[in-house]
Amino acid sequence: MKVIQKIEELRAELSACRKDGKTVGLVPTMGALHAGHASLVKRAVAENDVVVVSDFVNPTQFNDKNDLQKYPRTLDADCKLLEAEGVSFVFAPSVEEVYPEPDTRQFDNAPLDTVMEGKYRPGHFNGVCQIVSKLFLIVEPNRAYFGEKDFQQLAIIREMVRKYPFDLEIVGCPIVREADGLALSSRNARLSEEQRKQAVQISKTLFASVEISRHHTLAETKSFVAETIAASEGLELEYFEIVDGNTLQNVTSWDDSDYIVGCITVYCGEVRLIDNIKYKE
């Protein structure tokens, strides 16, 4: 496994691989890797000859400077995990290498990027599209792998690929959870022992809401989630929306779509956690 900081060096390595007829898989990450990332990497390694994992905390997608500063950076531990998984290249560039000048590109993915995370984190998805599109241009992968935990991000990246267009397959991979249900996230590392216990109420509530949804209206199910989280110690609901899984727009009845997903964001102390659950697929 090679750890590469420079774009030109990575390009040269990959162009040699492509000349040999090898397929290339890309797993974009911001590091602080956990079993959720490992599941993406395993799938990429199984489906491609060569796998590149980018390990780069992308400043343009943080609308909160404090969040950017506190984002965990664990390159050495990440490399150990990636080597064990059979990754060929880790791309760990500096901010200057990726953004030698400010990236002023504006990606319009409306209405997918104006709701939920897009509403609460203005500019976030534009930053995600800036880095992901750069990675696609640098790596030119046959396939790129993203987790369904960031459900809205995955939908927006699919839309970007369709619209701009990029010639690759986007592979969405299921959420990986702790044994008690908490969705894996690099941010979980910032939870205190007490907060970690409180955070499990997020997934518990989502799972319970699937049962509720079988016998209740969509509005009642939505209220159940909002009220349960509001009553849970240490948690503060930012939003819970029940949306069409393709358009990400609100639905008001279970008959509105064949693909219905509930997306939630909750603060546990200062730590912002997201999760989602499928009601219909």
Please list the active-site residues: 37
Minimum CB distance to ligand PAF smaller for 88 or for 130: 130
33 binds ligand PAF (CB under 6 A): no
Q: Is 58 in the site for ligand PAF (CB under 6 A)?
A: yes
Residue 30 touching ligand PAF (CB under 6 A)? yes
Which is closer to ligand PAF, CB of 134 or CB of 222? Answer: 134
Interface with ligand PAF includes 150 (CB under 6 A)?
Answer: yes
CA–CA distance, 119 with 117 (Å, rounded to integer): 5
Cite the DSSP H helix spans in the chain. 7-19, 35-47, 65-70, 75-85, 95-98, 117-120, 124-139, 151-163, 193-215, 218-230
**Min dist. Cβ of residue 33 to ligand PAF (A):** 10
Least gap, CB of 231 to ligand PAF (angstroms): 30
Q: Which is nearer to ligand PAF, 112 or 218 (CB)?
A: 112
Residue number, 87 or 225, with CB nearest to ligand PAF:
87
257 lies in the site for ligand PAF, by CB under 6 A: no
For residue 265, state whether it binds ligand PAF (rule: CB under 6 A).
no
Strands 50-55 and 89-91: parallel
Q: Say which residues have a Cβ less than 8 Å from residue 41's Cβ, sequence separation at least 6.
A: 27, 51, 53, 82, 85, 87, 145
Question: Near ligand PAF by CB under 6 A, which window of 26-34, 110-118, 242-250, 252-260?
Answer: 26-34
CB nearer to ligand PAF: give 187 or 222: 187
Residues 111-140 that bind ligand PAF (CB under 6 A): 128, 131-132
Closer Cβ to ligand PAF, 45 or 156, answer by number: 156
Report which of 2, 67, 66, 54 is spatially closest to residue 25, judged by C-alpha positions: 54
Q: Could you tell me the two tokens for 12?
A: 């040269």
Least separation in angstroms between residue 214's CB and ligand PAF is 32
**How far is CA 9 from each of CA 86, 109, 200, rounded to the nearest angstrom?**
20, 32, 43
Query: Within a 13 Å sphere around the CA of 56, how many CA atoms are in the beta-carbon half?
Result: 31
Among 14, 24, 28, 222, binds ligand PAF (CB under 6 A): 28
Q: How far apart are CA 105 and CA 257, in angstroms?
A: 33
Of 28-36, 73-81, 109-117, 213-221: span binding ligand PAF (CB under 6 A): 28-36
Of 153-192, binders to ligand PAF (CB under 6 A) are 153
Give the side-chain half-sphere CA count within 13 A for 113.
Answer: 22
Element (H, E) at 169: strand 169-173
**# of chain residues touching ligand PAF (CB under 6 A):** 10
Q: Quick one: which segment of 22-30, 171-179, 204-212, 213-221 binds ligand PAF (CB under 6 A)?
A: 22-30
What number of helices (H) and strands (E) belong to the chain?
A: 10, 9
* Cα angle 191, 193, 199; round to 5: 55
Residue 37: CA atoms inside 13 Å, Cβ hemisphere, count?
22
Q: In the complex, which residues of this chain contact ligand PAF (CB under 6 A)? A: 28-30, 58, 61, 128, 131-132, 150, 153
